[in-house]
């Protein structure tokens, strides 16, 4: 039996870019120059997100969600237009703490991290040039993701880590545990987070790590490169 993929649409402030956000799958988000384009891109990325869902033992649930269903629209911010990325919490991101729901999101975030780590370990060090002929090499992508997560994202809940403290698997695991527990405590206590919310911070972290995971897979030069 199939079910609907619940989608929220983040609308632009200047009519430049829309973002489709999968309401139940942190990190599954795609932008487009129209609402229809964003939703179509999101639907195309469901198979790419499926390995993440499987890692969290939620693959069978996602596999049935073949048809997007827009359940709401909300206003984005200037960065929505500029980057074509979700930069505003949705109404669902503003709901109060609910432990089972938060734990499900954490499982998917951890699965996204695992997908990133595994991809970074197997792809070629040098990557295929991007569509404009540029693009970072694998190690620079990894450093960018870890620096952004350890700095900008984690510091919002006072769990910042310096890049040099994220060099070993053990260090990275400890940082991620600390980041998750800081988000959990912050959310459970109902503490404000400026213009963001904890559910938004979690899904934005998942989006960032998966966007670069898929970039590495697409640009991989090894024999087992993803067909994308």
Domain residue extents for the chain: 3-88, 95-219
Q: What pLDDT shows up at residue 212? A: 98
On the 0-12 / 13-18 / 19+ scale of CB atoms within 10 A, 157 is buried
SS3 176: helix
What is the end-to-end Cα distance of the chain in Å, rounded?
27
- Of the candidates 107, 209, 153, the one whose C-alpha atom is nearest the C-alpha of residue 217 is 209
Q: What pLDDT shows up at residue 228? A: 44
* Ranges in the chain, pLDDT < 70: 1-2, 132-133, 224-228
Q: What pLDDT shows up at residue 223? A: 73
Query: Fold for domain 3-88?
Result: TTHA1013/TTHA0281-like (3.30.2390)
* Residues in the chain, overall count: 228
Q: What pLDDT shows up at residue 121? A: 97
DSSP string, 129-155: --TTS----HHHHHHHHHHHIIIIIHH
- CA-based R_g, the chain, Å: 17
Residue 208 CB coordination number (10 Å): 20
Question: What single DSSP character describes residue 12?
Answer: P
């Amino acid at each position: 039996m199939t079910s609907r993929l619940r989608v929220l649409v983040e609308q632009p402030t200047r009519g430049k870019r829309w973002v489709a956000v999968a309401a139940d799958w942190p990190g599954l988000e795609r932008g487009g120059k129209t609402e229809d384009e964003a939703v179509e891109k999101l639907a195309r990325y469901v198979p790419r997100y499926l390995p993440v869902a499987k890692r969290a033992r939620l693959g069978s649930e996602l596999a049935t969600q073949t048809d997007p269903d827009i359940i709401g629209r909300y206003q984005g911010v200037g960065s929505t237009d500029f980057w074509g990325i979700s930069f505003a919490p949705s109404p669902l991101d503003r709901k109060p703490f609910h432990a089972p729901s938060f734990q499900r999101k954490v499982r998917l975030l951890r699965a996204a991290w695992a997908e990133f780590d595994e991809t970074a370990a197997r792809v070629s060090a040098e990557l295929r040039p991007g569509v404009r002929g540029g693009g970072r090499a694998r190690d620079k992508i990894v450093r960018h993701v870890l620096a952004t997560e350890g700095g900008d994202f984690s510091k919002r809940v006072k769990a910042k880590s310096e890049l040099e403290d994220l060099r070993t698997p053990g260090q990275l695991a400890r940082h991620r545990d600390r980041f998750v527990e800081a988000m959990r405590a912050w959310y459970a206590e109902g503490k404000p987070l400026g213009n963001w919310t904890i559910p938004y911070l979690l899904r934005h972290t998942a989006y960032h790590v998966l966007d670069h995971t898929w970039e590495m897979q697409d640009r991989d030069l090894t024999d087992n490169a993803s067909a994308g």
